Amino acid sequence: MLDIISFLTQIPVRKDVRIEEVAVRTYLFPFVALLIGLVVAAVAFVIFECTGSAPEIAALLVLLAIYLVTGLMHLDGLADFFDGVMAGGTEEDKRRAMKDEKIGIAGLFATVFIILLSLFAIETVCAGLAKTAPAHSFDLRSFYHFTSVFVIAEVSAKISMNTCMISGKSKEGAGRGMGALFIRSFSKYGYVVTLISAILISLIFTAFSLRFFIVFTGIAVALFVSRIAKSNFGDVGVSGDVIGASNELARCTTLLVWAIIIV
């Protein structure tokens, strides 16, 4: 678990991450998502409820907190993914563009666009929650609502990664690289454990209401991303960059769903 926390976050719990240990236990991703969501929710609650900051500035600080906790690894995957998808030429040309260390204009645009969408979604959701709670005071019920949003958004992001891993398996194998290691190590049994864990966490943080279905946004995003990857990069199209991209897209989409519901 310490290896997984070190891999998915910037929390310094282990200096040297054993990537093989992480790869065979990716079914624990939802529990690390729970940790991330709780930390971000605490930051969001304090900034929006207790400091009275302007919503725009508060949302920016919450978004900053997300990336301070999770790092920029998956955001880099998002940029590489869109560079590959938007590149012209054959499947090999697209894979080469995705693996290029230099970021292209497509990757830059996609990254900025997703960050802005996430920013606006956070502002909408948190401002909506702040209106229903006592101003400048600690309210346990209000804090619970904040944790619901950010825990489920993060769990959705992580099961999106797991879904990409399971959908990335093909008859041709899993290719090469870190993504291939994760795909080879992930099993259908592990995916079932992931889903059960995600559902249980979501039920707890939505008071066993139908809102727990929001967590399945990550699965829908992953299936869509995997299909795009295979159509652009071939059967062995799901790579580490694709998995990372699904994480960012799923979190953003889930926050947008929350924003629609809250409003």
pLDDT tens-digit profile of 40-66?
999 999 998 776 668 899 999 999 999
Q: Output the pLDDT for position 140.
A: 82
Domain boundaries, the chain: 2-257
How many CA atoms lie less than 13 Å away from 216 in the CB half-sphere? 7
The structure tokens listed for 259 are: 């924003």
Q: Output the pLDDT for position 223.
A: 95
Judged on CB neighbours under 10 Å (0-12, 13-18, 19+), 136 is exposed
Whether the pLDDT of residue 15 is over 90: the answer is no
Name the nearest CA neighbour of 161 among 5, 46, 40, 27: 27
Q: Output the pLDDT for position 234.
A: 85
In this prediction, residues 222-247 reach a mean pLDDT of: 91
Q: Output the pLDDT for position 137.
A: 57
In this prediction, residues 245-263 reach a mean pLDDT of: 94
Whether the pLDDT of residue 139 is over 80: the answer is no
Q: Output the pLDDT for position 259.
A: 94
Q: Output the pLDDT for position 45.
A: 92
* Confidence band, pLDDT 50/70/90 cuts, at residue 67: very high
From residue 46, alpha-carbon distances to 1, 53, 93, 212, 242 in Å are 28, 10, 47, 24, 34
- The tens digit of pLDDT for each residue in 91-116 reads 889 988 998 888 899 999 999 999 99
- The tens digit of pLDDT for each residue in 205-219 reads 999 898 999 999 999
The whole-chain average pLDDT of the chain stands at 90
- The tens digit of pLDDT for each residue in 21-44 reads 899 999 999 999 999 999 999 999
- The tens digit of pLDDT for each residue in 159-191 reads 999 999 998 876 555 556 788 899 999 999 999
Q: How many CB atoms lie within 10 A of CB 114?
A: 20
Q: What percent of the chain has pLDDT over 70?
A: 93
